[in-house]
Amino acid sequence: MDIWALLIIPLVVSVFIALVARKNEELSSYVSIGAVITGFFIVLPYVLKLPGDPNMHPIEQAFTWIDIPGLKVEMGTLIDPLSIIMLFIVTFVGSLIHIYSRGYMHGDPGYSRFFACLSLFIFAMLGIVLSNNLIMIYIFWELVGLASYLLIGYYYEKPSAADAAKKAFLVNRIGDFGFILGIFVIFYATGTFNFIEIEQHIAAGHVSSGTLTLAALLIFCGAVGKSAQFPLHVWLPDAMEGPTPVSALIHAATMVAAGVYMLARTSFLYAAAPDAMVVVAYIGGFTALMAALMALGQKDIKRIIAFSTLSSLGYMVLAIGVGGTGAGMFYLATHAFFKALLFLGAGSVIHACHSNDIWEMGRLYPKMKATAVTFILGSLAMVGMFPFSGFWSKDEILSATFESGNYFLFAMGVLTAFITAVFMSKLVAVTFFGEKKYHGHPHESPYVMTVPLMILAVFAVIAGFAGFPGLEPNFGSFIHTAASGLLEHGGRGVHAEHRFNFMVASLSTVVVLGGLVLGWTIYSRKGMKSDVMEEALPFTYKLLENRFYIDHIYDTYLVGWLYNGMARILNYIEVNIIINFVINGMAYFTRQTGKGLRLTTTGQLQNYAFVMVGGVLVLMIIFAAIF
């Protein structure tokens, strides 16, 4: 029952704030923070039990939601190592972000609204994690979309925020379009939505491989939308329009992680559909590299981190695509810590400088030491420097890719790691060191903001040891249990979790070090006012700054020409052809005919009589002719 409480409390809190505590800002923030922390303490016992019981039997609780002949939909929860780890990340990182928000959002006119939406977000995300069936996951999937819409559009008076919110929702909708169709395919192939039952059906070989590939690809569309993979990645950078804690929440613990989590949840499906996995892996690898390149051309601190998230998500999807579900989830976990840390750190910087542009910061280190130190630790974790958490998790992904035998993807992954190291070192160098470029007097943020940073920093550093190869059972073995089978049918199709690959690890360390050195040497030079790359490689820089013009192409051609154009053409047909021509034309024709026939009404009695007699005569002739 405690599991249901996990779900109900944030919802109740959200409704409570919306209806009752709207005017009381203090109360709103406390109940909201209380809700997520309560959630954390509900989850904690499960987490603590996990190492002792890595092969725990999944716990399922469900009640019937819709029950008509041929269609039974349940609402249910599924507790297994996969969901427990995810619950832990969501509630833990979520708690810290809630606490941080109390400081960051201080004095904002929509304070209560903000916390109501945050609680709704947590509710929706926990729903995804707990779902035991596809319909339920889809429901909460959409609710996450709603919550993100509300939070990204939080400053709704700002046109850019209103646009970004709409864009995020709609782009996600396009992904969901595939997702729901995939759910239908699965339903008609297996007759159920329940994960465990679907897995049984697939394991029993009831489903043809073509159907499986189709279903896997369609469901992957959902993840492409929510986890912002190419070609639906465009909403994520724009989502920066929301307040910074929201960005942290979206990027680290919720929303984008949902896509990866869903892939992990349905990994049995992908394991049975190797063709789909290749697509997944390439999309992931491509996104990782593309986003890392785009990050090079950005100036906005939040945008740089946003693109790094895109890149990280690409990594995770790549991991799942090469069969390393455990590696992907491990990266998701460590990523949640360091990415939340980076965003909250960025928020702290923005809070101090009142600007997002890294070229208007510089030499902030002496002014805000706590933020700077934690931020640097986060960055090191992000680039995957030994022995920070990112190192272990990224290494697992790289070795999984390497061992899958796809060296092209492996090369892409390594290249991404290199570029990541370059732009992260640039970010740190330009923001905290280098030339002083800020205006006013930046100062360190209050404790309510820095303490969460420190806690996150600790985790960003040490979380990687959960996946330490020498530890048994380690992170990978939990996920392995979850991913390779909710039932005991062995790791069919799923690669056994990877061991530490010394060759890969040393290669990536060298590459990362190289990237860091390169970035640092370029960007820590004295007297630099703007990006040297802009002058050295203007064309490339322009291309990267404009994100390869993908957004532009979408906006102008797909949305502007195709979508709106089609609507306009149909509207033209409706108004001018159907209504004005056909329908009003018919009315016009009727009216004109009436006008013509009216002339026969002469008012002359004898005319009428004449016509009548004539008519009778004609009829008589006709009858005479017939009979």
Partner 1 sequence: MEGFPVISAIIAAPLAAVIILLFLKDEMLWLVRAISVATTSFCLALSLYMLWAYDKGKGGYQFVERIEWVKSLGISYHVGVDGISIAMIVLTAFVIFTGVFVSWVGVKQRVREHYIFLLLLVAGVFGVFASLDLLFFYLFYELAVIPMYPLIGIWGSANREYATMKLTLYLSFGAVFALLGILSLYFVAGAQSGVYTFDMLAISKLTLEKGYQIKVFLPLLFGFGVLVPLAPFHSWSPIGHAAAPSAVSMLHAGVLMKLGAYGILRIAMGMLPEGAQFWMPYVAVLCLINIFYGGLVAMSRKDMKFMIGYSSSSHMGYVLLGLATLNYIGVNGAVLLMFAHGIMTALAFSLIGFVYDQSHTRMMYDFSGLAKKLPFVAIAFAIMGFASSGLPGLANFVAELMVFIGAFKDYPFQTVIAVFGIIVTATYMLRCLRDVFFREPQDRWDDLRDATTFVERLPFVVLIVVLFVVGFYPAILVDIINTGVVPLVDKINAVPHG
Partner 2 sequence: MLTISHYLILSFILFSIGVAGVLLRRNIIIVLMSLELIFNSVNISLAAFSYYLQSLNGTIFVVFNITVAAAEVAIGLAILVSVYRTRKTVNVEDLDEMRY
Question: Using CB under 8 A as the criterion, which residues of the chain lie in contact with partner 1 when the complex forms?
Answer: 64-71, 135, 138-140, 142-143, 146, 149, 153, 156-159, 161-163, 165-166, 169-170, 173-174, 177, 180-181, 184, 187-188, 563-564, 566-568, 570-571, 574, 578-579, 583
The least distance separating partner 2 from the CB of residue 601, rounded to whole angstroms, comes to 4
Nearest to 50 by CA among 83, 26, 75: 83
Shortest Cβ distance from residue 67 to partner 1 (Å)? Answer: 7
User: How large is the greatest C-alpha to C-alpha distance in the chain, in angstroms?
Assistant: 118
In the list partner 1, partner 2, none, the entry touching 180 (Cβ below 5 to 8 angstroms by class) is: partner 1
289, two tokens: 């590299």
Contact letters for partner 2, residues 569-598 (x by CB under 8 A):
-----------------------------x
How far apart (Å, rounded) are the C-alpha atoms in residues 112 and 22? 6
Q: With binding defined as CB under 8 A, does residue 624 bind partner 2?
A: no
- Please, what's the b/e burial string for 167-176 (b: 16 or more CB within 10 A of its CB; e: otherwise)? bbbebbebbb
Q: Which partner, partner 1, partner 2, none, binds residue 605 by CB below 5 to 8 Å per kind?
A: partner 2
Please choose which of partner 1, partner 2, none residue 613 contacts, taking the beta carbon within 5 to 8 angstroms, the exact cut-off set by kind: partner 2
Please give the C-alpha separations between residue 418 and each of 424, 502, 518, in angstroms, as whole numbers. 10, 18, 10
**How far apart (Å, rounded) are the C-alpha atoms in residues 68 and 324?**
39
Nearest residue (CB) to partner 1, 146 versus 278: 146
* Smallest distance, partner 1 to C-beta of residue 590, A: 10
| Number of amino acids touching partner 2 (CB under 8 A) | 11
Q: Which has the closest alpha carbon to 394: 408, 380, 384? A: 384
The nearer residue to partner 2, 549 or 608, going by C-beta atoms, is: 608
* 50 contact, one of partner 1, partner 2, none, CB 5-8 Å limit per kind: none
Q: Which is nearer to partner 1, 171 or 419 (CB)?
A: 171
The residue among 138 and 331 lying less far from partner 1, judged by its C-beta, is 138
As a whole number of angstroms, the distance between CA 144 and CA 204 comes to 34
Rg (CA), the chain: 30
For partner 1, which is the closer residue by CB, 68 or 626? 68
Cβ distance to partner 2 smaller for residue 535 or 606: 606
What is the token pair recorded at 166? 């709409």
Q: Which residue, 613, 535, 46, 531, is CA-closest to 304?
A: 531
Least distance (Å) between residue 62 CB and partner 1: 14
Which of partner 1, partner 2, none does 609 bind, CB closer than 5 to 8 A by kind? partner 2
Binding partner of residue 388 among partner 2, partner 1, none, CB cut-off 5 to 8 Å per kind = none
Shortest distance, position 610 Cβ to partner 2, whole Å: 5
**Which residues, 248 to 307, sit near partner 2 by CB under 8 A?**
none
Residue 80 to residues 68, 141, 153, Cα–Cα distance (Å): 29, 20, 35
Residue 570 interacts with, from partner 2, partner 1, none (CB under 5-8 Å by kind)? partner 1
SS3 300: strand
Residue type present at position 515: G
Judged by beta carbon distances under 5 to 8 A according to partner kind, the member of partner 2, partner 1, none in contact with residue 64 is: partner 1
Shortest gap between Cβ of 89 and partner 1 (angstroms)?
Answer: 23
Question: Residue 30 touches which of partner 2, partner 1, none (CB < 5 to 8 A by kind)?
Answer: none
Q: How far apart are CA 347 and CA 220, in angstroms?
A: 32
Q: Which is nearer to partner 2, 8 or 613 (CB)?
A: 613
E strand or H helix at 79? strand 71-79
* Locus of tokens 């680039």: 383
Residue 610, contacted partner among partner 1, partner 2, none, CB below 5-8 A by kind: partner 2
Q: Provide, rounded to whole angstroms, the least separation between the CB of residue 597 and partner 2.
A: 10
188 binds, among partner 1, partner 2, none (CB under 5 to 8 A by kind): partner 1
Question: Could you say which of partner 1, partner 2, none residue 26 binds, taking C-beta under 5 to 8 angstroms by partner kind?
Answer: none
Alpha helices in 354-406 (DSSP H): 369-383, 389-404
Q: Which is nearer to partner 2, 157 or 606 (CB)?
A: 606
Q: For 59, list phi and psi in degrees, rounded to 5.
A: -100, 125
Q: Which is nearer to partner 2, 581 or 608 (CB)?
A: 608
> What separation, in Å, do the N-terminal and C-terminal C-alpha atoms of the chain show?
92
Taking the complex as a whole, the smallest distance from the CB of residue 622 to partner 2 amounts, in Å, to: 19
Between CA 69 and CA 289 the distance in angstroms is 48
The C-alpha atoms of residue 614 and residue 602 are separated, in whole angstroms, by 17
- Rounded CA-CA distance 445/265 in Å is 39
The residue to which tokens 């070609």 are assigned: 231
Q: Which does 19 bind (CB under 5 to 8 A by kind): partner 2, partner 1, none?
A: none
Nearer to partner 1 among residue 258 and residue 428 (C-beta): 258
Q: Min. distance of Cβ 143 from partner 1 in angstroms? A: 6
* DSSP H or E stretch at residue 63: strand 59-68
441 to each of 189, 344, 368, how far by Cα in Å?
A: 63, 20, 11
Task: Enter the tokens of residue 367.
Answer: 């002014």
CB of 320 to partner 1, least distance (A): 25
Record the tokens describing residue 464, joined without a space: 């990687």
The identity of residue 478, as a single letter, is F
Footprint (CB under 8 A) of partner 2, residues 594-613: 598-599, 601-606, 609-610, 613
Q: Name the DSSP class of 463.
A: G
Q: How many CA atoms lie within 13 A of 599 on its CB side?
A: 4
Nearer to partner 1, 186 or 290 (CB): 186
Binding site for partner 2 (CB under 8 A): 598-599, 601-606, 609-610, 613
